A and B are shown apart, each in its own frame.
Chain A
Amino acid sequence: MGKVLLMQGNSAVVEGAISAGVRFYGGYPITPSTEIAEGMAKRLPEVGGKFMQTEDELAGMGAVIGASLAGVKGMTATSGPGFSLKQEMLGLACSAEIPCVVVDVQRVGPATGQPTSPSQGDVMQTRWGTHGDHWVIVVSPTSVPECFDLTRRAVELSETYRCPVILLMDEIVGHMRERIELPESYDDLPKFPRKVPSCAPEDYLAYRDVDGTKVPPMAPFGSGYRWHVSGLVHDETGFPKGTPSATRTSQDRLRTKLTDRLDDIIMTESYRMEDAEYAVISYGGAARTAYDAVDAAREQGIKVGLFRPVTIWPFAEKEIAGLSSKVKGILVHELNCGQYFLEVERAVHGKIPVTLYAKYDNESASPEEMLEEIKKMTGGAQA
């Protein structure tokens, strides 16, 4: 039994976070993500959590990292300009392996861009935004109910893999209001407890893989396990060690703790793909147009389906390479000049034509416009 509500995507993120046990938020107001801060400011103290409006974007992310060190799940939300500012802290969270959730509700950029218009121009920034080689998880919701579910999933992934997880939204999904059914109570929903050490404090090494998962247990500050956090290259003790071998060992674990578990991390959706001869690849708010365009094309006898990556990074390499031996052509639709498209092209490796339908004019595509692009891809092919 649940309650049916008409809710905005940003508000569904708030509810998802509260339901997953997020009890700290630090952030700075920025359009089109501000409703997340406002919602957390109201909801967190109701459940005994804490909200801080910080002096800037950097501090918001920093406070979340600090809370996470104390064992409290933390989240921050922002949009492009603020996401740029959070990159340094994101690197610390990657290097020191501090779980946290960062929401980026994308708007048009660069710079101030167009704050109230949708874009997906931050796709590559989520992957490569902070300096240095690093690996992150990025998930992108397409609907309001999925904002709730993927916020929960982001919390779970960050706690499971001890890394920052980016919830990559866009102005469409953030501001759109839609029907959502929420449970009356969140008490019975999983809260994704963090793995903590079971050894004696004197035996604890904060970065030692003790169970083969490559994800070391993390002791909250104040729990009797005294350890050292450092953004310097470190070994399993957590203390700086910059030898070539220590650096390689650390980098390898940070990468493979995720790449070993792609089956768990990578989530995708296939819509009308069973007999499809062509595929549209689209994600986030842009994919909403694709559902309708695929339906319209099907009505005209065109065998096309939608492949929607829900996990944007790590890239769904295996799935998209597999697609290239199944269909005759792929149309990538995104609200930028072609970012995810580059990765699709790489994975397809020239086996079939990959075309880009890029929309970067402050508006989302209409199903009619997209149908035309589908027809261009299929050459008007009918079943």
Chain B
Amino acid sequence: MKEELVEKYFRPGRLPHLWCPGCGHGIITGAIVQAIDQEGWSKDDVAIISGIGCSSRASGYLDFNTANTLHGRALPIASGLKMANPKLHVIVVSGDGDCTAIGGNHLIHAARRNIDLTLVVFNNSIYGMTGGQYSPMTPVGSKATTAPYMTIEEDFDLPSLAQAAGATYTARATTYHTQLLIDVIKKGMEHKGFSLIEAVSACPTNFGRQNKMGAPALMMDWQRQHGVPLAAWNKMTEEQRAGKFPIGVLSERTDRKEYTEAYDEVIARAQAAL
């Protein structure tokens, strides 16, 4: 990210951030900032609402209307904010545990409503802040402090989950594929409706170490090797796909009404009946 963007969008005096050496969350936060900058939005018109966890610390660094709320609860708070002021561009920052475990119910219902929020899930495959417990997105067969004999639970395919729940835009990118990450976040921001972007991050401290992933750069190189652009993914056999995941815009649809706009119609109907 360009230095002038750091100066423009980060709150003065708050860097260096608290994330560990090699943590990908700084890259994702930077990608959000670059996407906002490309939109040309005023800082006053943007809100960043986060839950709790490593990812959710991102809100405090950024010079917008920001809230670091409760574990799993960013989406309901963001939904109320968006309803109250639909002109705000509301971006929700969450982690894999925050979003898919404790906040899972809120996720599927925000997606179902198709409310115009842009949700960026920082997926580092682990609960980092509490020291390395497995999340619903820890790959099955991984080690975690709460799975010393390896996890036995299958992990979520988050974009598919969101699609099934009704999200009208889903995408995935990694911190290695930085330019793609910026692009898919930007498209999600432009999309009218609920957008989910899974940003594959790395937690060298609490996931990498337990699973012998090597240095942070090697974890990022793992992303390069395992993230497959959608066009290539579509041509791969099931055997070739094993252990890999598609990246890019994974779904986009425009046939469902956005929630705040649909509610404007409720207001019109109620007032017509007076």
The yes or no verdict on A and B being binding partners is yes
A residues touching B (Cβ–Cβ < 8 Å)?
Answer: 23-24, 26, 42, 45-46, 48, 50, 52, 54-56, 58-72, 74, 88-89, 92, 96, 220-224, 226-232, 239-240
Instruction: Assess the B68–A231 pair: CB atoms within 8 A.
Output: yes
* B87 on interface, CB distance cutoff 8 Å: yes
Interface flags for B59-97 (1: CB within 8 Å of A; 0: not) read 110011111111001011111111111011000000000
Q: Which residues of B contact A89 (CB under 8 A)?
A: 70, 73
Instruction: Assess the B76–A230 pair: CB atoms within 8 A.
Output: no
Most A C-beta atoms less than 10 A away, residue of B68, B80, B106 = B80
Instruction: Assess the A228–B271 pair: CB atoms within 8 A.
Output: no
Given A55-B106, A89-B73, A228-B60, is A50 in contact with B85 using a C-beta cutoff of 8 Å?
Answer: no
Give the contacts of B105-148 with A (CB-CB under 8 A).
Answer: 105-106, 108-109
Instruction: Assess the A66–B66 pair: CB atoms within 8 A.
Output: no
A-B pairs with the 4 shortest C-beta distances? A66-B80, A62-B76, A63-B80, A45-B270
Q: Which residues of B contact A58 (CB under 8 A)?
A: 73, 76, 106
Instruction: Assess the A54–B67 pair: CB atoms within 8 A.
Output: no
* B45 on interface, CB distance cutoff 8 Å: yes
Shortest distance between the CB of A219 and any CB in chain B (Å):
9
Given A222-B85, A226-B64, A228-B66, is A62 in contact with B77 using a C-beta cutoff of 8 Å?
Answer: yes
The CA of A369 and the CA of B49, in the complex, are separated in Å by 54
Instruction: Assess the A240–B60 pair: CB atoms within 8 A.
Output: yes
Q: Which residues of A contact B77 (CB under 8 A)?
A: 62-63, 65-66, 69
Instruction: Assess the A92–B69 pair: CB atoms within 8 A.
Output: yes
Q: Which residues of B contact A55 (CB under 8 A)?
A: 105-106, 108-109
Among B167-175, B219-227, B261-269, the stretch in contact with A: B261-269
Taking residues whose C-beta sits less than 8 angstroms from the other chain, chain B's interface range is: 35 or more
The CA of A227 and the CA of B52, in the complex, are separated in Å by 18
- Taking a contact as CB atoms closer than 8 A, the residue among B52, B69, B81 that contacts A70 in the complex is B81
The CA of A24 and the CA of B82, in the complex, are separated in Å by 12
Instruction: Assess the A63–B67 pair: CB atoms within 8 A.
Output: no
The CA of A323 and the CA of B183, in the complex, are separated in Å by 70
The CA of A190 and the CA of B209, in the complex, are separated in Å by 60
The CA of A63 and the CA of B115, in the complex, are separated in Å by 13
* B47 on interface, CB distance cutoff 8 Å: yes
The CA of A232 and the CA of B57, in the complex, are separated in Å by 11
Secondary structure call for the A interface: mixed
The CA of A67 and the CA of B45, in the complex, are separated in Å by 15
Instruction: Assess the A221–B88 pair: CB atoms within 8 A.
Output: yes
Instruction: Assess the B88–A229 pair: CB atoms within 8 A.
Output: no
Given A224-B44, A229-B69, is A59 in contact with B76 using a C-beta cutoff of 8 Å?
Answer: yes
The CA of A72 and the CA of B82, in the complex, are separated in Å by 11
* B231 on interface, CB distance cutoff 8 Å: no
Given A63-B80, A70-B88, A228-B66, is A221 in contact with B47 using a C-beta cutoff of 8 Å?
Answer: yes
- Taking a contact as CB atoms closer than 8 A, the residue among A24, A223, A239 that contacts B84 in the complex is A24
Shortest distance between the CB of A94 and any CB in chain B (Å):
12
* Other 15 A-B pairs with CB < 8 A, given A46-B271, A46-B274, A221-B85: A45-B263, A52-B79, A52-B80, A54-B79, A62-B79, A63-B76, A65-B77, A66-B81, A70-B84, A74-B80, A92-B70, A222-B47, A223-B44, A224-B44, A228-B60
Instruction: Assess the B105–A227 pair: CB atoms within 8 A.
Output: no
Instruction: Assess the A24–B66 pair: CB atoms within 8 A.
Output: no
Instruction: Assess the A46–B270 pair: CB atoms within 8 A.
Output: yes
Shortest distance between the CB of A315 and any CB in chain B (Å):
28
- Taking a contact as CB atoms closer than 8 A, the residue among B52, B67, B84 that contacts A229 in the complex is B67
Q: Which residues of A contact B88 (CB under 8 A)?
A: 70, 221-222
The CA of A151 and the CA of B234, in the complex, are separated in Å by 58
Q: Please name the residue on chain A nearest to B70 by beta carbon.
A: A92
The CA of A84 and the CA of B274, in the complex, are separated in Å by 37
Instruction: Assess the A42–B106 pair: CB atoms within 8 A.
Output: no
- Taking a contact as CB atoms closer than 8 A, the residue among A45, A65, A68, A74 that contacts B267 in the complex is A45
Instruction: Assess the B266–A66 pair: CB atoms within 8 A.
Output: no
The CA of A224 and the CA of B63, in the complex, are separated in Å by 11
Most A C-beta atoms less than 10 A away, residue of B52, B59, B60 = B60
Can you report 12 A-B residue pairs in the complex whose CB atoms are below 8 A from each other? A24-B80, A46-B271, A52-B80, A54-B109, A58-B73, A59-B106, A62-B70, A69-B67, A72-B84, A89-B70, A227-B65, A228-B11
